[in-house]
């Protein structure tokens, strides 16, 4: 396996030079951020990456009711706890140092590109701890959070049920009040990541359930802490949570995904988090972050696959230039035009997506640290871009890892190289934390229309800032113009759909929301590429560009030109499709005959 799974050079370039993730207020300097990144890389390289293939070949097993995972996971999790990675984003009183979102996501990127499955365990614990710390009582915090942050207890998000996946309002897991203020939980949950395993001493589920008598639908859902083992006078007692199944998956096989049964014996206790019936809004508080993490996971996998392909195509010699005779020696296949094009495509996707997600993290940070009158605007930008930053890498990553395989020819299809695993690992991301279809409806049906379309206006201004920023570079003007036109296409399409909403109602409005999301993705990634090209042009216009940087910067300009020349034009077909009445509205399901 190639030793390189990501480029620290590119990550730092994106974080510092492109996004300018502001360390102000975070207690971080650029230097301290780099130290964190270097430490993360060191851990990823030594502890996570060597297990990447092994964890795939030996997936979790359900043995006597407990899920057995790779034996190294326990030491990985306790190290992540001990070294402060799990607590990093939290305040000092919880052992953290208020790590800013962009740095957190950059660290997630490093871990996930080394070994996606291994990286999710602690991410889930972090998310669950965050929910308890944000909405839970002091007692819940004291009881659960410290051990979670030590990596000794696993946190989960237990949302999905057999009959309520995408449609959360239909969930039926029940919570009956008990005299001591706790609740008796009964129900089934499926697709629970890290829902049980033997690398921790306990599992703490953040579970959605319906309190007896609660309103139907999404307004009657409450959030509970439901541990596998109930802390009781310093001891841990079984809490009637049973693993009924582990899911055997195509990829992402290093992490156990489980089906759980709660309260089969009537002895499962849950602790209400915050107020009753507000569970979904609490959960959605974490949703942006969870979705950005999925986008980052997809980006990381695409990145690792690209680096494997880069390594292979540089070293594998076969064929010769078309202008050379058959007597010439074979050339490294990276010299073939088609291979170069595929490598450009992979970089365009993964480096563009990285940039967009870190941009989102910056907005997230600014929504807390900006002057008060600007906070809401940054939050709107974050809300708007989250479904895009989740979906672009998840969907394009399928094609990008497919291109990585193609660079290897037949070997890419074999287990001898990691890219077939990257391709399999990638495919979950368009599904978990809300499918692409859901992201499209979220973007068009909620985010675009909220506050009378203000978020889109704010984005338009951000894009204009970038266009203005590059105005002194003649070589970028055609692309700035193309981005401007693409933004106009997005705007026109949005208005057309707005008219559809008024005339024909929500179903017609949202019928092609997935395609709208795809169009939106291309425009925002083009924006990130113009931004990157602008930054590079500024650097190149300056003094004393180091030779090593020159190749890196020129490479960036190449990839940016590729994006504008080959990928952005794809919005043409999407805008044509979106300008028509959605065909599916006219089609009966009965016309799908056998």
Report 521-560 residues binding a copy of itself (CB under 8 A): 548, 551-552, 554-555, 558
**Residue with token string 């929504």:** 367
Nearest distance, CB of residue 283 and a copy of itself, angstroms: 17
* Gap between the Cα atoms of 241 and 227, Å rounded: 8
Of 4, 12, 451, 454, the one binding a copy of itself by CB under 8 A: 4
For 445-461, give one letter per residue: b (16+ CB within 10 A) or e.
bebbbeeebbbbebbee
Phi/psi of residue 335, nearest 5 degrees = -75, -15
Q: Binding residues for a copy of itself, how many (CB under 8 A)?
A: 111
Of 318, 471, 477, 492, the one binding a copy of itself by CB under 8 A: 318
Q: Which of residues 427-466 bind a copy of itself (CB under 8 A)?
A: 427-428, 430-432, 435-437, 440-441
Q: Are residues 205 and 195 in contact, defined by beta-carbon separation less than 8 angstroms?
A: yes
Of 475, 495, 541, 573, the one binding a copy of itself by CB under 8 A: 573
Nearest distance, CB of residue 173 and a copy of itself, angstroms: 16
Residue 25 lies near a copy of itself (rule: CB under 8 A): no
Nearer to a copy of itself, 235 or 590 (CB): 590
Quick one: CA torsion of 487, 493, 496, 498, rounded to 10 degrees?
-80
Nearer to a copy of itself, 92 or 324 (CB): 324
Token duo for residue 171: 């969930």
Nearer to a copy of itself, 230 or 307 (CB): 307
Nearest distance, CB of residue 116 and a copy of itself, angstroms: 14
Nearest distance, CB of residue 369 and a copy of itself, angstroms: 33
CA proximity to 221, closest of 287, 169, 160: 169
Nearer to a copy of itself, 240 or 433 (CB): 433
* Gap between the Cα atoms of 411 and 315, Å rounded: 14
Q: Are residues 196 and 255 in contact, defined by beta-carbon separation less than 8 angstroms?
A: no
Q: Considering only 60-68, 368-376, 530-538, 566-574, which stretch makes contact with a copy of itself by CB under 8 A?
A: 566-574
* Gap between the Cα atoms of 428 and 247, Å rounded: 13
Residue 328 lies near a copy of itself (rule: CB under 8 A): no
Of 99, 221, 280, 510, the one binding a copy of itself by CB under 8 A: 510
Q: Which of residues 464-503 bind a copy of itself (CB under 8 A)?
A: none
Phi/psi of residue 570, nearest 5 degrees = -65, -20
Cα–Cα distances in angstroms (integers) from residue 267 to residues 175, 210, 227, 262, in the given order: 12, 17, 12, 9
Token duo for residue 152: 């000794």
Q: Which of residues 378-417 bind a copy of itself (CB under 8 A)?
A: 398-399, 402, 405-406, 409-410, 412-416
Residue 323 lies near a copy of itself (rule: CB under 8 A): yes
* Gap between the Cα atoms of 394 and 429, Å rounded: 5
Q: Which of residues 332-351 bind a copy of itself (CB under 8 A)?
A: 332, 334-341, 343-344, 347
Nearest distance, CB of residue 352 and a copy of itself, angstroms: 16
Token duo for residue 189: 């949950």
Nearer to a copy of itself, 228 or 336 (CB): 336
Q: Considering only 88-96, 151-159, 452-460, 578-586, which stretch makes contact with a copy of itself by CB under 8 A?
A: 578-586
Residue 216 lies near a copy of itself (rule: CB under 8 A): yes
65 phi-psi bin (left φ>0, alpha ψ -120 to 50, beta other): left
For 467-499, give one letter per residue: b (16+ CB within 10 A) or e.
bebbeebeebeebbebbeebbebbeebbeebee
* Gap between the Cα atoms of 349 and 351, Å rounded: 6
538 contact partners, CB below 8 Å, separation of at least 6: none
Residue 322 lies near a copy of itself (rule: CB under 8 A): yes
Of 29, 66, 166, 232, the one binding a copy of itself by CB under 8 A: 166
Nearest distance, CB of residue 27 and a copy of itself, angstroms: 31
Q: Are residues 384 and 448 in contact, defined by beta-carbon separation less than 8 angstroms?
A: yes
Q: Which of residues 100-159 bind a copy of itself (CB under 8 A)?
A: none
Sign (positive/negative) of CA torsion 11, 12, 18, 24? positive
Q: Considering only 63-71, 113-121, 165-173, 198-206, which stretch makes contact with a copy of itself by CB under 8 A?
A: 165-173
Q: Which of residues 227-256 bind a copy of itself (CB under 8 A)?
A: 247-252
Taking CB under 8 A as the rule, which mask of x and - marks residues 170-189 in contact with a copy of itself? Answer: x-------------------
- Determine whether 433 is an active site residue: yes
CA proximity to 260, closest of 161, 164, 152, 176: 161
Nearest distance, CB of residue 475 and a copy of itself, angstroms: 13
Estimate to the nearest angstrom the gap between the alpha carbon of 148 and the chain centroid.
Answer: 22
Of 7, 14, 147, 242, the one binding a copy of itself by CB under 8 A: 7
Neighbours of 431 (CB within 10 A): 15
Q: Which position among 293, 364, 395, 433 bears the catalytic label? A: 433
Of 160, 269, 367, 528, the one binding a copy of itself by CB under 8 A: 160
Phi/psi of residue 158, nearest 5 degrees = -110, 90
Catalytic residue ranges: 433
């Amino acid at each position: 396996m190639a030793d390189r799974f990501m480029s620290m050079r590119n990550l730092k370039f994106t974080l510092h030079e492109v996004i300018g993730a502001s360390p102000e207020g975070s207690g971080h300097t650029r230097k301290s951020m780099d130290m964190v990144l270097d430490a993360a890389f060191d851990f990823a390289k030594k502890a996570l990456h060597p297990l990447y293939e092994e964890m795939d070949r030996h997936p979790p097993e359900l043995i006597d009711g407990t899920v057995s995972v790779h034996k190294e996971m326990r030491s990985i999790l306790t190290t992540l706890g001990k070294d402060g990675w799990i607590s990093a984003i939290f305040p000092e009183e919880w052992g953290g140092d208020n790590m800013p979102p962009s740095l957190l996501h950059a660290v997630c990127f490093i871990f996930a590109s080394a070994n996606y499955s291994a990286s999710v365990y602690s991410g889930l614990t972090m998310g669950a701890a965050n929910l308890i710390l944000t909405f839970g009582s002091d007692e819940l915090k004291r009881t659960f959070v410290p051990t979670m942050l030590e990596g000794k207890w696993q946190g989960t998000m237990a949302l999905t049920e057999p009959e309520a996946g995408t449609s959360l309002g239909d969930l039926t897991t029940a919570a009956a009040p008990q005299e001591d203020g706790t609740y008796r939980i009964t129900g089934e949950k499926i697709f629970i990541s890290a829902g049980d395993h033997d690398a921790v001493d306990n599992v703490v589920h953040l579970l959605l359930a319906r309190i007896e008598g609660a309103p139907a639908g999404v307004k009657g859902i409450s959030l509970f802490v439901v541990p596998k083992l109930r802390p009781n006078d310093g001891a841990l007692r079984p809490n009637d949570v049973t693993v009924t199944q582990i899911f055997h998956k195509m990829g992402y096989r290093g992490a156990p995904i489980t089906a759980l049964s709660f309260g089969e014996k009537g002895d499962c206790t849950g602790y209400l988090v915050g107020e009753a019936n507000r569970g979904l809004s609490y959960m959605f508080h974490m949703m942006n972050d969870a979705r950005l993490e999925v986008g980052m996971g997809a980006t990381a996998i695409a990145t690792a696959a690209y680096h494997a392909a880069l390594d292979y195509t540089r070293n594998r010699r076969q064929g010769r230039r078309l202008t050379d005779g058959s007597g010439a020696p074979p050339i490294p296949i990276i010299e073939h035009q088609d291979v170069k094009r595929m490598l450009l495509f992979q970089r365009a996707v993964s480096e563009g997506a990285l940039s967009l997600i870190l941009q989102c993290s910056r907005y997230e940070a600014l929504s807390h640290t900006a002057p008060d009158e600007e906070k809401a605007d940054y939050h709107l930008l974050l809300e708007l871009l989250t479904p895009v930053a989740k979906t672009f890498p998840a969907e394009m990553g399928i094609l990008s890892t497919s291109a990585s395989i193609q660079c290897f020819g037949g070997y890419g299809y074999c287990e001898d190289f990691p890219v077939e695993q990257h391709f399999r690992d990638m495919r979950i991301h368009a599904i978990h934390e809300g499918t692409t279809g859901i992201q499209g409806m979220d973007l068009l049906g909620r985010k675009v229309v909220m506050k009378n379309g203000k978020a889109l206006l704010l984005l338009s201004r951000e894009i204009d800032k970038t266009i203005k920023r590059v105005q002194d570079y003649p070589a970028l003007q055609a692309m700035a113009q193309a981005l401007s036109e693409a933004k106009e296409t997005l705007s026109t399409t949005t208005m057309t759909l707005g008219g559809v909403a008024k005339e024909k109602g929500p179903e017609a409005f949202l019928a092609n929301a997935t395609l709208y999301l795809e169009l939106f993705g291309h425009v925002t990634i083009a924006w990130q590429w113009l931004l990157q090209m602008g930054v590079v042009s500024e650097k190149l216009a300056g003094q004393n560009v180091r030779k090593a940087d020159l190749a890196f910067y020129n490479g960036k300009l190449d990839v940016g030109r590729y994006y504008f020349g080959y990928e952005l034009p794809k919005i043409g077909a999407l805008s044509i499709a979106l300008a028509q009445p959605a065909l599916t509205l006219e089609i009966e399901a009965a016309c799908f005959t056998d």
